[in-house]
């Protein structure tokens, strides 16, 4: 699995590192459009982004 850096996520969603760090650490939430961008640009499945486990 490839390691995805904060800067990669920041570029994908068009935010600075500080804002991205707050989102990644749970102090702020990602928007639906940001989640879509991360999925499309970085190839991370929605299930991973949303921490979805049907079992």
Task: Between 7 and 55, name the one with better pLDDT.
Answer: 7
pLDDT digits 0-9 by tens, 27-55:
999 999 999 999 999 999 999 999 866 66
Q: Is the pLDDT of residue 1 over 60?
A: no
Three-class HEC string of the chain: CCCCCHHHHHHHHCCCHHHHHHHHCCCCCCCHHHHHHHHHHHCCCHHHHCCCCCC
Helical pair 6-13 and 17-24, crossing angle rounded to 10 deg: 110
19-34 pLDDT tens trace: 999 999 999 999 999 9
pLDDT value of residue 51: 86
The residue extents of the domains of the chain are: 6-49
Contacts of 13 (CB under 8 A, 6+ apart): 20, 30, 34, 37, 38
């Amino acid at each position: 699995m490839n390691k995805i850096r904060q800067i990669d996520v920041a570029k994908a969603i068009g935010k600075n590192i500080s804002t991205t760090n707050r989102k990644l650490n749970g102090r702020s939430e990602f928007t639906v459009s940001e989640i879509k961008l991360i999925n499309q640009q970085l190839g991370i499945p929605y299930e991973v982004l949303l921490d979805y486990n049907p079992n």
